[in-house]
Amino acid sequence: MERYVVTTRIKPGSAPAVEELLSAGPPFDPGDAGLSAHSAYLSDDRVFLVFEGEAARAKALDLARQHMGDVSRWEELVWELPAVVEEVPATARCVYGWQAPR
């Protein structure tokens, strides 16, 4: 199983809009996308998206291409392009989480 974590810095004042967007869940069904888990975290100035499952990185990139319209909504909320990180910091709080049934 692969774990792929991406992050970006959110613009000042956009945290409420980011939290609302994340709380609504992704614009895709994580199970249909072949993920075993998917979650979103928010810190004071960053958002973290976690994709888990076989070939999680490839699936995340494919989902971004398939949902370009949804991805473009983030342009007004973030400062930078997403970057890959190893872990979500302990200070970030989970605002969305999904896990495949066992």
Confidence band for 102, pLDDT divided at 50, 70 and 90: confident
What's this model's pTM, rounded to 2 decimal places? 0.94
Instruction: Write down the architecture of domain 2-99 according to CATH.
Output: 2-Layer Sandwich (3.30)
| pLDDT given for residue 47 in this prediction | 97
Quick check: 71 pLDDT over 80? Answer: no
Map out the domains of the chain as residue ranges: 2-99
Quick check: 70 pLDDT over 90? Answer: no
Quick check: 42 pLDDT over 80? Answer: yes
Long-range CB contact pairs, 56-61, < 8 A, 24+: 56/1, 56/2, 56/3, 56/4, 57/2, 57/4, 59/33, 59/34, 59/35, 60/4, 60/6
Confidence band for 74, pLDDT divided at 50, 70 and 90: confident
